[in-house]
Structure 1
Amino acid sequence: MGMKVLTDSAETVWKSLNGLLCVYKPADVSCNNVCKTIAYKITSELNHMNCRQPIDYVSIEGDPSKHLTVIRRPNLADHPLVVGERYHPDDVRCTWSSFLGFNTSGVLLLGLQNGTKTAFYIRMSKLMRAYRIKGKLGRATDNFYKDGKVVEKTTYKFIKRHHLDGLLASMQSAHQKKMFELCGVELQSQTAYDLAIQGPIRPADSKIPVIYGIKCVHFDSPDFIIEVHCINEYETYLKTLIHEIGIKLRSTANCTGIQCIRHSYFDLDKALLRKHWTLQSIVTNLEQCSNVINEHQNLIRQDSVTLQ
Structure 2
Amino acid sequence: MLIKDAPVIWDSLRSIICVYKPPNVTCQRVRQTIITAVCTGLNEMECRPPMDYVSIEGNPSTQLTVTVKPNLADHPLVVGPRYQIEDLKCSWSNYLGLHSSGVLLLGLRNGTKAAKLIRENRPTRSYRVSGRFGEATENGFKNEKVVERSTYKHIKHANINKLLAAMQASHQKEMFKSCGVDLQSQTAYEMACEGPIRPADSKLPVIYGIKCVQFEPPDFVIEIQCINEYETYLKSLIHEIGAKLRSTAHCTGIQCIRHSYFTLENALLRKHWTLQHIITNMEECIAIIDEHENLVKQKKAALQ
TM-score bin, normalised by smaller chain: over 0.9
Q: Percent same amino acid among aligned pairs?
A: 62
SS at match of 1:297: helix
Map 1:1-308 → 2, pairs under 5 A: 3=1, 6-297=2-293
C-alpha RMSD over aligned residues:
1.6
Q: Residues of 2 paired with 1:251 and 1:33: CA distance?
A: 37
**Ranges in structure 2 where 5+ consecutive residues have no aligned partner:** 300-304
Q: Residues of 2 paired with 1:221 and 1:166: CA distance?
A: 17
Contact 2:136 2:147 in 1 (8 A): yes
Q: How much has 1:252 moved relative to structure 2? A: 0.3
* TM-score w.r.t. length of structure 2: 0.95
Contact 1:29 1:103 in 2 (8 A): yes
Contact 1:43 1:88 in 2 (8 A): yes
Q: How much has 1:152 moved relative to structure 2? A: 0.8
Q: Residues of 2 paired with 1:300 and 1:112: CA distance?
A: 25
Q: Residues of 2 paired with 1:91 and 1:26: CA distance?
A: 26
Letter in 2 for 1:67: Q
SS at match of 2:161: helix
Contact 2:3 2:9 in 1 (8 A): no
Contact 2:209 2:226 in 1 (8 A): yes
Deviations 1:234-282 (A, max 9, x none): 0000000000000001000000000000012100111111111111111
Q: Larger deviation: 190-199 or 210-219?
A: 190-199
SS at match of 2:110: helix
* TM-score w.r.t. length of structure 1: 0.94
Contact 1:121 1:300 in 2 (8 A): no
Letter in 1 for 2:48: R
Q: How much has 1:145 moved relative to structure 2? A: 0.6
Deviations 1:156-192 (A, max 9, x none): 1111111111111111111111111112222222221
Q: How much has 1:149 moved relative to structure 2? A: 2.0
